[in-house]
Structure 1
Amino acid sequence: MATSKFLVAALLLSAFLLQLVQADQTVYSEFRSLHNCASACAARCRLASRQKMCHRACGTCCARCNCVPPGTSGNQEMCPCYYKMTTHGGRRKCP
């Protein structure tokens, strides 16, 4: 009886620890991609006249598409998702 309780407790603890490890890996990968978006958008928006707006739009596009075209403008063919994203008015969303 005591052995079965110990076994159930060990299995529950193992499942809990596995869940914690998986959650930690997910948070780390999300942080890593956000960090890459920040640096990629900083390079993309460095010559923009409206820096704050450019960074916000680029960050949104990067988070959704997981890529940012190189350079300060153009090169949208390098990241088709980034290129195709539009606003409600039909204009390109991504700088």
Structure 2
Amino acid sequence: MAKLSWSFIALLLFLSLSFTLDVSNAGGEGSLKPEQCKPACDYRCSATSHRKPCLFFCNKCCNKCLCVPSGTYGHKEECPCYDKWKTKEGKPKCP
């Protein structure tokens, strides 16, 4: 009986931690505070070979929109402001 309850507690702990981690990365527009932009952009730009420009534009976009899409690529629909900001040429401004 004790073995069953410890496994059940471990499972609940694992699920609660997983849910907490997933929710912290996701978030809509305005979900970040300005001081949270740097760590969010560090993660967003962690997989690119063009790290310096990625960080510059990501931080610029985050400071305006207070949102950074989850993951290192894509998911821009999570932040409409971030997704819709374009360059003069009509290309996406935010990485």
TM-score range, shorter chain: 0.5 to 0.7
Which of 1 and 2 has higher RCO (CA within 8 Å, sep 6+)?
2
Residue in 2 that maps onto 1:76: 76
Q: Give the root-mean-square deviation of aligned CA atoms.
A: 1.3
Instruction: Please identify which structure carries the higher helix content.
Output: 1
How far the C-alpha of 1:94 sits from its partner, in A, is 0.5
Residue in 2 that maps onto 1:42: 42
**One-letter amino acid of the counterpart of residue 67, structure 1:** C
Residue in 2 that maps onto 1:90: 90
**One-letter amino acid of the counterpart of residue 72, structure 1:** T
Distance in 1 (CA, whole Å) between partners of 2:70 and 2:39 is 11
Q: Which structure 1 residue ranges, 5 or more long, are not aligned?
A: 1-31
1:1-95 counterparts in 2 under 5 A? 33-95=33-95
Give the TM-score taking structure 2 as reference length.
Answer: 0.64
- Matched length: 64
**Looking at CA atoms only, which structure, 1 or 2, has the larger radius of gyration?**
1
1:91 counterpart SS class: coil
